[in-house]
């Protein structure tokens, strides 16, 4: 019986972890090449470009045009992000930015883009 309980708990933990990694419904994922196109059209699009990494990570190198709103602060800073604008999210690998996308989605944002692979897959210019 003890092994059954442990097995059930392990399965539940695995399911929970997989659920957290799944893309949020309605969130578009893009690669670095598509991000370059979005950045080129930034002035005309009105899109918000948000890097959700911690400030020290952001200062060590970030994509020009992105501003820093750490994942832990995103829920408290929703007022800085217009709901009618597209929000492009980035982190180191794409995992934290997907978590931020889920927070935005739960708060009524419709135009959310996640940069899959994050800055670790970015081959363009970085500002330090």
Closest CA to 113 of 90, 82, 83, 84: 90
Walking along the chain (128 residues) 10 residues at a time, the average pLDDT comes out as: 83 79 78 90 88 97 96 96 95 94 94 95 92
The pLDDT, as a whole number, for residue 63 is 96
| Catalytic residue selected from 52, 71, 91, 115 | 91
The dihedral built from the CA positions of residue 107, 113, 118 and 124, taken in this order, carries a sign that is negative
What number of residues does the chain have? Answer: 128
CB-based contact 68:62 (threshold 8 Å): yes
What domains, with CATH codes, occur in the chain?
Answer: 24-121 (3.40.250.10)
Based on the residue annotation, tell me whether 91 is a catalytic residue of this protein: yes
């Amino acid at each position: 019986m003890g092994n059954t309980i442990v097995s059930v708990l392990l399965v539940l933990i695995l399911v929970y972890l997989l659920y957290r990694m799944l893309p949020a419904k309605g969130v578009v994922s893009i690669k670095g090449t598509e991000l370059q196109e979005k950045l080129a059209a930034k002035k005309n699009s009105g899109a918000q470009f948000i890097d959700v990494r911690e400030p020290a990570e952001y200062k060590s190198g970030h994509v020009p045009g992105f501003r820093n709103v750490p994942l832990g602060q995103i829920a408290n800073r929703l007022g800085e992000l217009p709901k009618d604008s597209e929000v492009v999210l980035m982190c180191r690998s794409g995992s934290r930015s997907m978590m931020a996308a889920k927070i935005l989605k739960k708060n009524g944002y419709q135009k959310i883009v996640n940069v899959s692979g994050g800055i670790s897959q970015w081959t363009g210019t970085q500002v330090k």
